[in-house]
Structure 1
Amino acid sequence: MGFGLAVVALLCSLVFLAGAVLYRAQDDDTASAAAEGATEEVAAEAPPTTRADGRLAPPPVAAATDDPFTFFTTEADGDPVAWDPCDPIEYVVNSARAPEGAMGILDQAVAKIEEATGLVFVDEGATDEMAPVGDEVRPDSDPGRYGEGWSPVLISWTDAMADPELDGAAGLALPSFRVAASEEEVYVTGYVEMAGDYAADLIAAGRSADVLGVMMHELGHLVGLGHVTPSDQVMTDDPNSTPSEWGDGDRAGLALVGTGECEPDL
């Protein structure tokens, strides 16, 4: 990919302990009722238009900065593992425990990650698929549920009762890569989990911006960024800070993971 930057590689699933943990619900009543009518069928959007360079959107540009960023995973040469910018990142949503207003917040977060990376996300609708728990592994493809090809990214609004990994956490994310014919590692799918009970408390307290910051943070992991220390960056590991605007370091890292190579043979 030719980025040639030395950064810290994070080789494991990253769980973000956001400020939302301070507002944990006392019981399940704060989460919304399970979404009715969620099915395995998805309603596809119109496919994005391809540019002359093969990308679906212009490549991102970020100003030079001394603010830090890290990558979730890197290749042997230090380049970040990234998504194919010539294919959309399709996603489905399980909104079973989504509080009121959560879907609008997700839309805002997706728009912000698209703008910063030049990657294109496509909403493929609702699903009743549950994120993997414990030692379970989500398959990269699931023809019985989603047809041929890679499974769409799964975005779940859930809680610690459904997934104990969310106990004390506001969200988590894990992308999955495969090796392309070019021998580059390329992300092909993944999943994001958001703690619906935490989000419900924050929204009720008028702190929807904090929920937006958590969702942006988890989408940052999904597209390939790791944690940093400064609390003014969305990708901070400070559990008491949830910025909802990208910092300069965030933007620099997101620009780099957004300039991966097209991989037509993957």
Structure 2
Amino acid sequence: MNVIVCQLVVAAALTLGAGTAAAAPVPDQTATTVTVNFAAKTVKSGTSVTFAGKVDPASAARTVWLQRNDAGAWRTIGTARTARAAYKVTIKPAKVRTDRYRVVAPGTAKANTGISRTTTVTVRAATVVRGNPKAFAFMYPGRARWNPCTPIGYRVNLTQATSGALTDVKGALARITAVNGLRFAYRGTTNVMPGGRNDTYPGDTQLVVAWGRPGKDTSVIPVGAAGQGGGSTSSVYTRSGTTAWQVVEGYAVLNSTMRFAPGFGAGPKTGLQGTRGQLLMHEIGHAVGLGHPKIKDKWEIMYPTMTRKPAVYGKGDQVGLRALGTGAGCLYARDPSRPS
């Protein structure tokens, strides 16, 4: 991340806080510069945000004020003391909105007032995770899972996809990574169609996401279904030498004749329910190792029916995904507990 540092010298009276005015600078005082090492950010409500920088001159500790612009007026919302010219102020903004901030070093007997550049913070609503933590199931016998210690190479067949599909694929995979730590490596686009005429994966690819017509382009999607996800497994070992099952090749194929709303929002109130993001999270969830839960909880992404809801893995989904992630340990083709 490129960090822009701006130094701005104040050479006139200014409003420092609510109802507080700065006196005009004294000509023989030293000019003050205040830097803030901060780029514009977007954070979730309640997340800590830290403003840091330096004040010059700082032969002795100085107070700095963090100010927020409220309806055109600058309000002091936090303070700190410098140490060796450096300062740090941390806040936890809660309201969902975009605000402007600046850092002010009030004048002293020897130095004028200084003010930093203005920066912004956008606060979004924190994700609400709903559902039943027991509402999950595993897709494959033996609780087969991917090896979490190697990246999963994937390609996307966009031939019949609509605009923004690749962004949604990457977004769905990022949501899995956020829950269980599995790593996915994008290898590019492909003409491979799981269950179609060309279903041989390139050597660097273990997962293919595609769009196709059921019964015409692919045989893996049942007629009338929105999509299908799955894969193949192989016998492997855990670090202790116990036999386990590993997913070695996976797919998620979506019905190209069904056009869902893009993104990961709640989706439309009429027509096809849910979103493309929700469908991708569901079908790739199968490829990763999750099945349809026996407990019918509509807040779970692995619920067998698309519903109108934000595309967020539910509590049950997350329990299942974590059991299939990095916490389960590496998998090995050969028994590592035996001498080679």
> Structure 2-normalised TM-score?
0.50
CA distance in 2, matches of 1:244, 1:213: 5
Aligned counterpart, 1:20: none
Query: How far is the alpha carbon of 1:169 from its aligned partner?
Result: 1.4
* 1:233-244 mapped onto 2 (5 Å cutoff): 233-240=300-307, 243-244=310-311
Output one character per residue of 1:221-257: Cα deviation in whole Å (capped at 9) or x when no partner.
1111111221111010234456511111111111111
Output one character per residue of 1:68-96: Cα deviation in whole Å (capped at 9) or x when no partner.
11111232xxxx21111101111111111
1:131 aligned counterpart, secondary structure: coil
Structure 1: 5+ residue stretches without partners: 1-61
Q: Is 2:252 the counterpart of 1:192?
A: yes
Q: Choose from 176, 181, 185 the match for 1:113.
A: 176
CA pair 96-174 structure 1, distance change in 2 beyond 3 A: same
Aligned counterpart, 1:223: 288
Amino-acid identity (%): 28
Number of matched pairs? 189
CA distance in 1, matches of 2:151, 2:254: 22
CA contact (8 A) 1:213 1:244 kept: yes
CA distance in 2, matches of 1:174, 1:130: 13
Query: How far is the alpha carbon of 1:263 from its aligned partner?
Result: 2.2
Q: Is 2:217 the counterpart of 1:162?
A: yes
The answer to which structure, 1 or 2, has the higher relative contact order (CA under 8 A, 6+ apart) is: 1
Q: Is 2:190 the counterpart of 1:127?
A: yes
Aligned counterpart, 2:328: 260
* 1:49-60 mapped onto 2 (5 Å cutoff): none
**Paired amino acid for 2:280:** M
* 1:1-266 mapped onto 2 (5 Å cutoff): 66-75=133-142, 80-133=143-196, 146-147=202-203, 151-160=205-214, 161-163=216-218, 165-181=221-237, 182=241, 183-199=243-259, 202-203=261-262, 207=268, 210-228=275-293, 229-240=296-307, 243-258=310-325, 259-265=327-333
1:119 aligned counterpart, secondary structure: coil
Structure holding more strand per residue: 2
CA distance in 2, matches of 1:157, 1:242: 23
Structure of greater Rg: 2
Structure holding more helix per residue: 1
**Paired amino acid for 2:331:** E
CA contact (8 A) 1:84 1:260 kept: no
Structure 2: 5+ residue stretches without partners: 1-128, 335-340
- Name the stretch that deviates more: 160-169 or 121-130: 160-169
CA distance in 1, matches of 2:189, 2:329: 30
